[in-house]
Structure 1
Amino acid sequence: MTTTGEVHRAALTGPWWWARRRSAVLDVTLAVVSAVECAKQGTTFARDVGLPFAVGLVFGLLAGATLLVRRRWPIVVVLVAIAVTPAEMGFLLSVVGLYSLAASECPRRITAGLAGMSLVAVLIVSYVRTDQQADAGVVPGEGWVVTFIALTMSLGLTAPPVLLGLYVGARRRLMESLRERADSLERELQLLAERAEERAEWARSEERTRIAREMHDVVAHRVSLMVVHAAALQAVARKDPEKAVRNAALVGDMGRQALSELREMLGVLRTGDGLSAPAAGNERRGRAEPVPLAAVGAAAAAAASRAAGPAPVGEGPCLADLDELVGQSRVAGVVVVLSVEGELRAYAAEVEQTAFRVVQEALTNVHKHAAGAKTYVRLAHRLSEIAMQVENEAPPPVTEGGCGARLPSGGNGLVGMRERVGALGGVFVSGPTDAGGFRVSAVIPCGAA
């Protein structure tokens, strides 16, 4: 099982320059063996050249002990091995030193140069030693045999450790690269997970805002008309019973329409994208199971795409329903003048719904804040946009004893209209007029469907 770079670095608990304790133990063991070998060979060399025994012993111990720093300073180990080659000592020191040098991060030209020096030194010493043995009759053969033996010994002591070191060094660098790449991928995955969580939270927030806006637009207008008719019903109940009956019937019709639209809205919410199928499957199996993460992610993605722009909820209203909308306000006692400019044509569903909702919410505000005021609704079909304006005159003064509708306001109507129009790249402006009324204007870019 592989580990990432952070875990690998956390496992570096060895003393001094060693990464692990077992590496330190291995180097100490190799240094002890090399010191014993060099001490033995050093005493033999001291005896041959007439030096004191202690000099050869100490020299061999010091030379062999340099193997202890092979991981930190491999060049020093190789240079010591080359230096003691004429004394025919340090074979383990030379092999391990060349391997450590080739496996280290040392530049390749330095490795090649030191390896070549070691090869030449071993070749010369081997040739001289073999030639002496051939003269003494220990090694039979002529000159080419001596050369072959010397060349074979030099290559055998130099090439294998260098090649093995190069392979191990390349493999180590590859593993480090893979660890770094794993760390990078892990960080990227973590960032992607955090970003996905933020997007999901943003999508949920946008979806809640959209649902609240839809509920407000669907319910507020009809409920406002119901309150207005209820106030009128209270005022004429005793004076004109027939008109009171008509108003009561209108209130009932509007209440049923509001309930029908609420049921449609709740039905759409219950069968949301990506969640209805798993829920239905769990119900059929007779047990409640959590929704899979994939379904939740799909639902979040769908919510994010819907939140990016207004989407129709069910069979939404269109511009053809404006006459009916204006007629409902007229029945409630508001004088509404509707004027349409330009050639009527079909638009995208979200454009028509947004235009209808703007007019609907503006008329609702008239019922709430300017009951009885004359209102002008203007709709203009232009080449690449559709414009609408709802303007009411100053409301008439309330007479003493008059029964007002007293409609509450949540303050979200204008905000919802601005959000709807802005989501389609349009412009929304609202504010009071000089005459004491109020004007709502919106321009929505569009193309013919």
Structure 2
Amino acid sequence: MTTTGANQDAAGTTARGWWWWGRRRSAVLDGGLALVSALECGLEGSQFADSAGFFVPGGVVFGLLAGAVLLVRRRWPFAVVLVSVAITPAEMGYLLGLVGLYTLAASEAPRRIIGALAGMSLVGTLIVTFVRTHQNVLDTGIESGRWYVPLVAILMSVGLTAPPVLLGLYVGARRRLMESLRERADSLEQELSLLADRAEQRAEWARTEERTRIAREMHDVVAHRVSLMVVHAAALQAVALKDPPKAVRNAALVGELGRQALTELREMLGVLRAGEQVAARKAVGGGAGSVPEAVTVPLAAVGVAAAAAAAAAAEDGPGMEDIEALVGESRDTGMVVELSVQGASRAYPPEVEQTAYRVVQEALTNVLKHAAGAKVMVRLAHREAEVAMQVENGPSDGGAQDAGLPSGGNGLVGMRERVTALGGVFVSGETDAGGFRVSAVLPDRGAA
């Protein structure tokens, strides 16, 4: 975080112990001004005491003390002005008055106090100048018009009061402006730091989301296809010697399922590579106004790649029209699967169709893993503003041979994530008959 000038001054004051001075040169300047003012007031005090018949050393001491008040001008500027006004009748403290008015006008004092004290100084100087000029005219015997004494008094009082006040107001306004700009720069720096942190968080979220999506796709593709391949391979082993024609069919099915799994994996990886290339081109060639920072490309590329990959995968992935073929593949393994479709089929957004297909696919895979030999009912309902699907299996056949397929426990979690991401509802659980039911409802416009 950048340290402001005020903070630096405060730190310097605390570290060096310069009382109310933020810097050493400020203390030296005020000390020099106070010394000059004290000498001036001491000389003028001696002249005033001599002309008035007072004790001259007392006038000198009084002048020295009054002029030294300038030392506290930064801490108590109003006190300096009041002292200068008080000694104006003795024609003392010209430097004290000028510097005091400037310091007061440049300070953070309220405008009404500045105006009141400046007015007092103006009136006092005006009266003293008027009296002294009138006395000089009488003593010298110079003939002058009635306008001479008032004009000289006004010019002298305004000349001794207005310039320091105006200069102080200007310097004070400029100082406040610089402080506000410095504070604004500090706040902008903090905001930029927060934005950078948020951008990094969004990039990390995008990377995590993309990893989760890839893991979900890999699970759906590999788990279902490989599970069917394992079942067919087991059947092939069992009938290889007893029924060669059936073994040939099972071997062909295993090969076909393997080719389908490889095709889907290749398409998914190709989509990811294409998304990363598009992201890199957009990040690097963003135009003349883009920021060519080294850290900007990866952060932008992650989000764009994730979006491009997800959209492309949804466009090229399987849809609801492939559910019937999916059911047929399960039947080929020996499962008893019934498909019921209600309502007129229509086109849905790609992500809705792919999610519906993946839900049915994962549910059938789970039946194959955990409820071998169970009867399965797949229901698909096209409604006015949504599409619903349900996969329900009865209790597993105790006599059916376990396929021995491993399970990571991520299938239901992945289905729920897919459905809820589109604003749908997902419910799963055991049935009263001892089976298992998976139900999902997706809105017609899940992409929105």
User: TM-score normalised to the size of structure 1?
Assistant: 0.91
Contact 2:278 2:305 in 1 (8 A): no
| Matched residue type, 1:295 | V
Q: Over residues 86-142 of structure 1, what are the superposed CA-to-partner deviations in whole Å (9 max), with x where a residue is unaligned?
A: 111100000001111111111111211111111111111112222222223286633
Is 1:221 the counterpart of 2:224? The answer is yes
- Give the alignment partner of residue 409 of structure 2, picking from 408, 411, 414: 411
2:232–2:251 contact (8 Å) kept in structure 1 = yes
Aligned pair partner of 2:186 in 183, 190, 195: 183
* C-alpha distance in structure 2 between counterparts of 1:53 and 1:119, whole Å: 28
Distance 1:274 1:191, change over 3 A: farther
Deviation track 1:47-76 (CA, whole Å, cap 9, x = no partner) reads: 111112210111010000000111111111
Alignment of 1:205-220 (within 5 A): 205-220=208-223
SS at match of 1:388: strand
Is the CA contact (8 Å cut-off) linking 2:283 and 2:297 kept in structure 1?
A: no
Q: Does 1:41 align with 2:44?
A: yes
Indicate the residue corresponding to 2:299 in structure 1: 297
1:430 corresponds to which residue? 428
Specify whether residues 296 and 387 from structure 1 end up closer, same or farther in structure 2 by C-alpha distance, changes over 3 A only. Answer: same
Match of 1:286 in 2: none
| CA drift at 1:146 | 2.1
Residue number in structure 2 paired with 1:270: 273
**1:12-411 correspondence to structure 2 within 5 Å:** 12=10, 13-14=12-13, 15-137=18-140, 141-273=144-276, 277=280, 292-302=294-304, 312-313=313-314, 315-398=316-399, 404-411=402-409
Q: Supply the AA of the counterpart residue of 1:396.
A: D
Write the distance in 1 (CA, Å) between the matches of 2:293 and 2:71.
61
Corresponding residue of 1:441 = 439
For residue 140 of structure 2, give the secondary structure of its aligned residue in structure 1.
Answer: coil
Q: What secondary structure does 1:428 align onto? A: strand
Matching residue's letter, 1:360:
Q
1:285 paired residue number: none
Query: How far apart in 1 are the matches of 2:223 and 2:5?
Result: 60
Instruction: Spell out, residue by residue over 1:338-397, the C-alpha distance to the aligned partner (whole angstroms, 9 max, x if none).
Output: 110111111111111111100000011111112222111110111111111111121212
Instruction: Work out whether residues 392 and 438 of structure 2, in 8 Å CA contact, stay in contact via their aligned partners in 1.
Output: yes
Note closer, same or farther for the CA distance 1:7–1:238 as it changes in structure 2 (3 Å cut): farther
Q: In the TM superposition, what is the alpha-carbon distance from 1:169 to its structure 2 partner? A: 1.2
The change in CA–CA distance for 1:47 and 1:226 in structure 2 (over 3 A counts) is same
Distance of 1:273 and 1:145 partners within structure 2: 89
**Could you tell me how far apart the structure 2 residues matched to 1:310 and 1:292 are?**
27
- CA offset at residue 198 of structure 1? 1.7
- The answer to whether the 8 Å contact 1:222/1:255 transfers is yes
Structure 1 residue ranges without an equivalent (≥5): 283-289
Q: Residues of 1 paired with 2:293 and 2:65: CA distance?
A: 71
The whole-number CA distance in structure 2 between the counterparts of 1:362 and 1:35 is 98
2:101 partner amino acid:
L
Residue-by-residue CA offset, 1:260-286 (whole Å, 9 max, x unaligned): 11111111222224666459999xxxx
Q: CA deviation at 1:188?
A: 2.0
- Does the C-alpha gap of structure 1 residues 138 and 199 become closer, same or farther in structure 2, counting only changes over 3 Å? farther
The residue matched to 1:429 in structure 2 has which SS?
strand
Q: CA offsets, 1:186-217, max 9 Å, x none?
A: 22222222222222212211111111001111
Match of 1:409, SS? coil
How much identity, in percent, do the aligned residues show?
A: 67
Task: Note if contact 2:352-2:446 (Cα within 8 Å) is conserved in structure 1.
Answer: no
* SS, match of residue 143 in structure 1: coil
Q: Distance in 2 between matches of 1:96 and 1:182?
A: 32
**Letter of the 2:300 counterpart:** A
Query: Secondary structure of the equivalent of 2:344?
Result: coil
Query: Structure 2: which 5+ runs fail to align?
Result: 286-291
Would you identify which runs of 4 or more consecutive aligned residues in structure 1 move more than 4 Å? Answer: 273-282, 303-307
Shift of 1:4: 5.5
Cα displacement (A) at 1:312 = 3.6
How many pairs are equivalent?
436
Q: Structure 1 residues 446 and 139 mapped into 2: Cα distance closer, same or farther (>3 Å)? A: farther
Q: Which amino acid aligns with 1:359?
A: V
Residues 214-242 of structure 1: CA deviation (Å, up to 9, x unaligned): 11112111111000000101110110111
Q: Check whether the contact 1:351–1:446 (CA below 8 A) recurs between aligned residues.
A: yes
Given that residues 42 and 60 in structure 1 are in contact (C-alpha distance below 8 angstroms), is that contact kept between their aligned partners in structure 2? yes
**Superposed CA offset, 1:160-197 (max 9, x none):** 00111111111112222222222222222222222222
- Contact 2:207–2:303, Cα closer than 8 Å, also in 1: no
Whole-angstrom CA distance in 1 between matches of 2:329 and 2:362: 13
- Quick one: distance in 1 between partners of 2:280 and 2:405? 42
